[in-house]
Amino acid sequence: MRLELDNEQVQDLLELIYLGSNMANLSDSSKVEDYVDLKTYVFQQVHKNKIENVLILNEEDKELNVTPEIEDNLLDIIEAYDQFTMYKELATRLGNRDIDRKYGEDYMDKLEFEEAFVLMDKYLRRYLKEFTRNGIDNLFLKKPKLEE
């Protein structure tokens, strides 16, 4: 297979690979090594074709990576993803806790999928609305008192 990309598409591809690589490296998937190998291969091909201003060679470990400028531009995407993921996970856990407290721990298991989805969505939306408006400013732990 052969891909023909202009310089802008090459940069977009490198950015996508960088973002995917960051996410994959956080997992314990058996595929991570394959992803690293693919990233290395694509970066080497870009470097070999002398496409400028997209990659730098780290002299210490001899690895190619995107330039610091590109990396800085991607930080906003990474931060937005991290924030969304945290809010969604927190909202899901708080919603599950609230449902368990109100209806009992086995209640969701007894519902049809659609009913459970609608109920969970109600709780999820409530928390996501709060986090969108105020972040975690209104989130407090009542007990236990945390040790310093």
Confidence of residue 93 (pLDDT cuts 50, 70, 90): very high
Q: What is the distance, to the nearest Å, from the Cα of residue 52 to the centroid of all Cα atoms in its chain? A: 28
pTM across the whole model: 0.73
| Residues 21, 51 share a domain | yes
Confirm whether 45 is domain-assigned: yes
**Total domain count, the chain:** 2
Q: Are 43 and 55 in contact (CB under 8 A)?
A: yes
**What's the CA gap between 10 and 1, in Å, rounded?**
16
Confidence of residue 80 (pLDDT cuts 50, 70, 90): very high
Q: Determine the structural domain holding residue 49 and report its residue range.
A: 7-66
Does residue 146 surpass a pLDDT of 80?
no
Confirm whether 140 is domain-assigned: no
pLDDT digits (tens, 9 = 90+) for 116-143: 999 999 999 999 999 999 999 999 888 7
